[in-house]
Amino acid sequence: MDTIFLSEVKVQTKLGVPEWERMVEQTIILDIEIGYDLSLACKSDDVADTIDYGLVVNRVRETLKEHSFKLVEALAEHVCQLILKEFSALNVKVKVAKPAILPGLKALGVIVERTAS
């Protein structure tokens, strides 16, 4: 299996357990790995034979602007399911980082990996 990766994708969303934290958008950083069979695209050199990375980034940004999450876990699951369903990925791994949320901490977050059923 092949992997498409999108590194350090900055998105805006409302995220946090306390309600006040979800009142304003925050920058969240995503690392996304998408499992896909790229053998045809390698031969054809045609974007129709792969996943359009720009469409993935735009769709993730769009959906995260529309939703609010309490937990980074729920946000990661949402992104995984979106990519599996809308882009026919074989599997997806999403790292969600919430930067500088606690003093002395660069970031906190989760890594969630899901496979198409």
Q: Per-domain residue ranges for the chain?
A: 2-115
Q: What does the pLDDT average to over 75-104?
A: 94
Per-residue pLDDT reduced to its tens digit, 14-36: 998 988 888 889 999 999 999 99
DSSP track, 38-106? -HHHHHH--GGGS--HHHHHHHHHHHHHH-EES-HHHHHHHHHHHHHHHS--SEEEEEEEEET-STT-S
Read off the pTM: 0.93
Q: What is the pLDDT of residue 84?
A: 98
Q: What is the pLDDT of residues 34-76, one digit of tens each?
A: 999 999 999 999 999 999 999 999 999 999 999 999 999 999 9
Any idea which residues carry the catalytic annotation? 98
pLDDT at 94: 98
Distance, in Å, from the CA atom of 37 to the CA atom of 49, rounded to the nearest integer, reads 9
Q: Which fold has domain 2-115?
A: GTP Cyclohydrolase I, domain 2 (3.30.1130)
* DSSP SS3 for 22: helix
Predicted confidence at residue 21, as pLDDT, reads: 82
